[in-house]
Amino acid sequence: MTADHDPETADAIQRAEVISAALPYMLRYDGKVVVVKYGGHAMGDAELSRAFARDITLLETSGVRPIVVHGGGPQIGQMLDRLGIKSEFKNGLRVTDKATVEVVEMVLAGSINKEIVMAINAEGGKAVGLSGKDGNMVFAERVKKTQKDPDSNIEKAIDLGFVGEPKVVNRAVIDMVLGAELIPVIAPVAPGTDGHTYNVNADTFAGAIAGALGAARLLFLTDVPGVLDRNKKLIRELTRSQALALIEDGTISGGMIPKVETCLDALDRGVEGVVILNGRTPHTVLLELFTDHGAGTLIRP
């Protein structure tokens, strides 16, 4: 049997061609920071979690400097239920009182963070679990939200408790971890200058981290393919002005609006490009970074 007809050889050649095709993209991101916000259903699926850990490890070994920022809303909800702590939501945001923020920190900076670290380490990576508290990496301030009273039509402040947004990012600790060729896995919990602990939205937290490090890419792993047009077809690339126009005409609506606004905020902070992609697609991170096809919607300045 000749090599041309040997299935094993043919398979090996195909694998080599895939690696060869990926090489220019690997070189493009060599030494560059890529922040990945990890959450959604991909986080709860064992096989997808292993694939994600493998992809992050491959990024690091290929010269990319990956940073993982993770959420954990469903897991927080489950733990609050187990402890008999009732959750209250206002305008889609969890009201976080003293008891709730303790559970949030326990789940995010504890169990979830270490599960991701262990998964990456099991694939041959060297991950380190952190939160915004470590080395005063992130300082947060209390979120100020308002809503219109339906009767008086007057804007009234909403008290969300210990829900914060990033105010200051100190990149020193992250630089030290990256310099040691380790992979930072960061939970979005941060101290405030008032001495309290704050629960920070993971998307917003990831954008602040990516901006502070001038990341080449910020990837949002979601439960949707990306931004869709009116015919429900994926839009592969958008500029800032195009994204704003799609919000204005209603093409981008509902829960996608705050996601896109977070992308635009990250661009304002200095991120080169932000991508919304489907975390339920296996190896979606590699498809986005190392192929010309991409895997989601890229938003550029």
Identify how many contiguous H helices and E strands the chain contains and give both numbers. 10, 16
Q: Which residues pair with 69 in a beta bridge?
A: 37, 186
Half-sphere exposure for 95 (CA within 13 Å, toward CB)? 11
pLDDT tens by residue, the chain, 301 residues: 445 557 666 665 566 665 656 565 566 778 899 999 998 777 778 888 999 999 999 999 889 999 999 988 888 888 888 999 887 777 667 788 888 899 999 999 999 999 999 999 999 999 999 999 999 999 999 988 766 666 666 777 777 889 999 999 999 999 999 999 999 999 999 999 899 999 999 999 999 999 999 999 999 998 888 898 888 899 999 999 999 999 998 888 888 888 899 899 999 989 999 999 988 888 888 888 887 777 889 998 8
8 A C-beta contact, residue 294 and residue 233: no
8 A C-beta contact, residue 276 and residue 296: yes
Tell me the domain boundaries of the chain: 30-300
Nearest of 98, 194, 103, 91 to residue 147 by alpha carbon: 91
- The whole-number pLDDT of residue 44 equals 74
DSSP letters spanning 198-226: EEE-HHHHHHHHHHHTT-SEEEEEESS-S
Joined together, the tokens standing for residue 115 give 């599960």
Question: What is the number of other CB atoms lying within 10 angstroms of the CB of residue 296?
Answer: 27
Question: What is the number of other CB atoms lying within 10 angstroms of the CB of residue 256?
Answer: 19
The rounded distance, in Å, linking the Cα atoms of 31 and 216 is: 10
Options 3.40.1160.10, 2.40.30.10, 3.50.30.30, 3.30.70.360; which CATH number does 30-300 get? 3.40.1160.10
Which residue in this structure is represented by tokens 């920070």?
A: 200
DSSP letters spanning 164-201: EEEEEE--HHHHHHHHTT-EEEEESEEEBTTS-EEEE-
Nearest of 109, 27, 112, 32 to residue 66 by alpha carbon: 32
- The whole-number pLDDT of residue 1 equals 44
What's the predicted TM-score (pTM) here?
0.88
- The whole-number pLDDT of residue 179 equals 94
8 A C-beta contact, residue 19 and residue 27: no
